[in-house]
Amino acid sequence: MENKGISIQDFDNRVDRLDATLEGKIYCMEYGRKTTRTRLYVTPNKFIKPTIISPNDEYFGNAVIGSLINCLVVGATGTGKTVALKVIMSKIARFQPEAEIWILDFKNYDFKEFSNYPNHYAYSNCVQGLTDYYNAFKEQQNTGSAGCPQYLFCDEWGSFILSREKRQAEELKARLSEILMLGRSYRFVPIIGLQRGDSSHFSSGARDQFRAILMLGNISKQQKQMLLPDFEDKLTENCGLGEGYLLLDGKGGIEHIKIAPIQDFDALDNVIRKAMQR
């Protein structure tokens, strides 16, 4: 490849774009001192396997689960979004021994097995659930110090917000926005699942506070431009069930991932129950 006088730093900054153009992954570059040619070593995409996200270890992509901050999980019906949320829950339960889990289960279906626990809120009670979580955050803020990690899982956030009257919906969005912006210091971490990451589901600027974005299934061009505009050219895989892309802010580029198939959901749920009892 002719580098045509491009500096090494500029060339390195174009790696993501080159990956997309070459339909592969560049794993080595050789720069010639007395030539304008740069040699690239590329593995074709068809030989690259996605990173597996399993409940059996503490890794979430190329980071550990304890470093997860403000996560947005996006996927249409049938893409494996619920399983992905449960896998994240189980990782927190196993590898964050002091963490507490809160669940807003608007659909009142996929997380019903946790309905006997006080931190589970279903359907219309999700309003109370977000209120209780927000109040817990404000109490912690008043102490001026961080407590044990508090993870809020909300599935079908978009449907939840659309079901409320406009005034109440804006109040709920404002509360989530405040937690997204300030919660990190006090270890309050929202993990929000929805089918489309439209900005209308959040207060102005709040969506930009998500430091992790997990997108499952085949992603529409509009969603790519909306949520991952800098990586649009890399989102080329035809993703099946539980497969997609993960972006962790400050942890390098975007990753092609796959949620590990779950063989025993009862065992997975039992791990989560232990965290719900804390």
63 is written with which tokens? 């980071």
Query: Is residue 32's pLDDT more than 70?
Result: no
Q: Supply φ then ψ for residue 123, to 5 degrees.
A: 50, -120
Q: What is the pLDDT of residue 76?
A: 94
Average pLDDT for 10-36? 70
For the stretch 201-258, pLDDT in tens is 999 999 999 999 999 999 888 998 999 888 888 787 789 999 999 999 867 688 999 9
Q: Which range has the worst mean pLDDT, 8-12, 38-42, 44-48, 270-274?
A: 44-48
Helical packing angle, 81-95 and 265-276, nearest 10°:
50
State phi, psi for 176 to the nearest 5 degrees.
Answer: -60, -40
pLDDT of residue 2: 58
Query: Using 50, 70 and 90 to split pLDDT, how confident is the model at 261?
Result: very high
The residue among 180 and 252 whose pLDDT is bigger is: 180
Band of residue 23 on the pLDDT scale cut at 50, 70, 90: low
Mean pLDDT for the chain overall: 90
**pLDDT computed for residue 39 by the predictor:** 78
Q: Please give the domain boundaries of the chain with CATH numbers for all domains.
A: 8-46 (no CATH), 49-276 (3.40.50.300)
Per-residue pLDDT reduced to its tens digit, 52-105: 999 999 999 999 999 999 999 999 999 999 999 999 999 999 999 999 999 999
262 touches 226 (CB < 8 A): no
Which amino acid is present at 141? Q
User: How many Å apart are CA 119 and CA 53, to the nearest integer?
Assistant: 26
What is the 8-class DSSP label of residue 46? G
Report percent pLDDT > 90 for the chain.
Answer: 73
Which helix (H) or strand (E) is 177 found in, with range?
helix 166-182
Give 146's pLDDT tier (boundaries 50, 70, 90): very high
Lowest mean pLDDT among 9-23, 77-91, 138-152, 185-199: 9-23
Confidence of residue 264 (pLDDT cuts 50, 70, 90): very high
